[in-house]
Amino acid sequence: MLWIKAIHIIALVAWFSGLFYLPRLFIYHTKWKDQVSHEHFKIMEKKLYYYITTPAGVLTLIFGFWVMSYNFSGYLQEPWMHVKLTLVFLLVIYHAYLGKVVAAFQQDKNKHKMGFYHFLHALPALFLILIVILAVVKPGGVIS
């Protein structure tokens, strides 16, 4: 089980790397107006989302549920796990929304200003802090 946890954490780090960096790319993409920059950012955003962030997110979920499978009924009785799984579900929605933004930039249909992407850039930190606290501290929990 320790190997499964290790792979889960490695995938999580890779996933969050993408979730942190994509909105930063959107900020830069919005800032620079020349066509050459736009084309470079399109390539970077697409590769980061489809080749790194999405596979890492899928692996995080697979290995996370694999870890849970060792004591599934026990984990589901823990209130902190319900909160954590809710946050993971919201994170998956956030991830999908980033994909929608990538697609909009690919089609030159960005509708947002830089400030919006600064807001998006802050969200993964909030998710990461809350999820790690729940996973490590397990407030009110029995399973360690």
What per-residue confidence (pLDDT) applies to 140? Answer: 80
What per-residue confidence (pLDDT) applies to 1? Answer: 87
Measured CA to CA, the distance from residue 49 to residue 56 in angstroms comes to 10
In a domain, 142, yes or no: no
* Region class of 100: left (phi > 0), else alpha (psi between -120 and 50), else beta: alpha
Average pLDDT score over the chain: 95
In a domain, 144, yes or no: no
Q: Note whether 143 and 76 are within 8 A (CB).
A: no
In a domain, 108, yes or no: yes
Is a pLDDT exceeding 60 seen at residue 54? Answer: yes
Name the domain count of the chain: 1
Is a pLDDT exceeding 90 seen at residue 141? Answer: no
Measured CA to CA, the distance from residue 73 to residue 58 in angstroms comes to 23
In a domain, 143, yes or no: no
The distance in angstroms from the start CA to the end CA of the chain is 13
In a domain, 84, yes or no: yes
Q: Which residue has the tokens 């998956």?
A: 92
pLDDT tens per residue across span 81-134: 999 999 999 999 999 999 999 999 999 999 999 999 999 999 999 999 999 999
What per-residue confidence (pLDDT) applies to 143? Answer: 65
68: domain range? 2-137
Measured CA to CA, the distance from residue 56 to residue 36 in angstroms comes to 29
In a domain, 7, yes or no: yes
Between 144 and 112, residue with greater pLDDT:
112
In a domain, 47, yes or no: yes
What per-residue confidence (pLDDT) applies to 144? Answer: 57
